[in-house]
Amino acid sequence: MSKVVSMGECLIDFIPSSETEYKANPGGAPANVCACVSKLGGEGYYLGRVSTDSFGSFLMDEMKKSGIRLDYVTRDDIHKTTLAFVTLKNGERSFSFYRDDTADLNFDAQDVNSNMFSKGDILHFCSLGLASSTSRKAHAKAIMLAEKNGGIVSFDVNMRENLWPSRKEMLDAIVGFMPYADIIKMSQEELAILSPEEDIKSIFAIADKASLIFITKGEEGSTVYSRDLNNYSVVAHKCDVVDTTGAGDAYIGAILYKLSKGEAELSVENMKDAMQFASVVSSLVCSSKGALASMPTLQKVKEIL
């Protein structure tokens, strides 16, 4: 089994428990992906910088409970933890972030272990980790090391425009890192922003190394495309939606888990079963509040399949 190293932000999602109260939940897309891989039985390693404040200690404890390997975590006793307040409406969410010079933004290239990757290992990252020049350099180093050692690089576009100075800066960073990825995942809405004509071919022109691009479509399911535009779609697994936070992270986490186990390959034909599996994993996360803590076990997924 190969390991999955997921790098970037780990934060607190404050999710409403009533009209006036919020409950702290561990979150952050890279940490969610790591939890998904780990709880399914894979080797999920979180790579990032976590504050030593009370929120950071809470995150470390929760990641450990989910089985996430913390070997590559750097603790930060200067900067605070990023906070996100989640607003839910009909199961859909919006975010208000408090992320000014926080620990994750100060993730440094020196924090990246030069010996962490072996052939077949997977590095996963998201665009929020590119929002500071310091963290961006750390991501560039990790990607270089993964490539050098025969690893697979996965990139979830995961746009959060309100955390960037401008849309242009966000898109420049995303487009700048897309050529490094073997796998790219984005939502239908993100595809429309990157390509108003929703032209997959134009995305592959930018991501000239990518073998597969996954487009998630919420209730409509998902589609995977190869470079020759061969494609395959799965419908979303039906569930009673409580909270969609982490659903996309669960989807790509399940795909990476299957790749790490050798039960999927970087082709449309050899990704079909993994997509069905990922659809079920994502639906289970939508069925309860929170993200990281809602990631299901393999046994739970098998019961549905």
What's the confidence (pLDDT) of residue 93?
64
Confidence of residue 90 (pLDDT cuts 50, 70, 90): low
- Give the whole-angstrom CA distance, residue 165 versus residue 33: 26
234 pLDDT exceeds 80? yes
Q: What is the mean pLDDT of the chain?
A: 94
Q: Which of 4-8, 20-24, 203-207, 295-299 has the lowest mean pLDDT?
A: 20-24
Mean pLDDT of 170-193: 97
Nearest CA to 84 among 169, 123, 27?
27
Q: Tell me the per-residue pLDDT of 238-281, one tens digit each, with 9 for 90 and over.
A: 877 877 878 999 999 999 999 999 999 999 999 999 999 999 99
Domains by residue range for the chain, with CATH: 3-304 (3.40.1190.20)
Q: Pick the range with the lowest mean pLDDT from 16-30, 110-124, 190-204, 255-269.
A: 16-30
For residue 95, pLDDT over 80 is answered with no
pLDDT at 192: 97
Whether the per-residue pLDDT at 125 is higher than 90: the answer is: yes
Mean pLDDT, residues 49-67: 97
pTM for the predicted model, two decimal places: 0.94
**CA 166 to chain CA centroid, nearest Å:** 22
> Considering only CA atoms, which of 3, 74, 73 is closest in space to residue 33?
3
- The whole-number pLDDT of residue 287 equals 85
pLDDT tens digits along 129-166: 999 999 999 999 999 999 999 999 999 999 999 889 99
pLDDT given for residue 197 in this prediction = 94
